[in-house]
């Protein structure tokens, strides 16, 4: 599932200071995508059960 960063909620921070990402009040598993003002993809971050797996 791809979700725009603007639709993601940061509900908490883990013990190491990393953000915990949620979507629809559920821990997020999928890819967060971010676009610039020209609608060009500028970032993708993959998560599984809140934890970051890959960043592009």
pLDDT at residue number 53: 67
Distance CA 12, CA 44 (A): 21
Residues 1-55: tens digit of each pLDDT? 899 999 999 988 888 888 888 999 998 999 999 999 999 999 999 988 766 666 6
pTM: 0.73
Task: Give the per-residue pLDDT at 54.
Answer: 64
pLDDT of amino acid 11? 87
Q: Domains in the chain: how many in total?
A: 1
Structural domain boundaries enclosing 50: 2-55
Residue 47: enclosing H or E segment and its boundaries? strand 41-48
């Amino acid at each position: 599932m791809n979700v725009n960063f603007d639709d993601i909620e940061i509900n908490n921070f883990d013990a190491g200071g990393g953000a915990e990402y949620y979507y629809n009040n559920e821990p997020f598993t999928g890819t967060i995508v971010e676009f610039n003002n020209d609608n060009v993809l500028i970032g993708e971050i993959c998560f599984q059960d809140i934890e970051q797996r890959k960043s592009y």
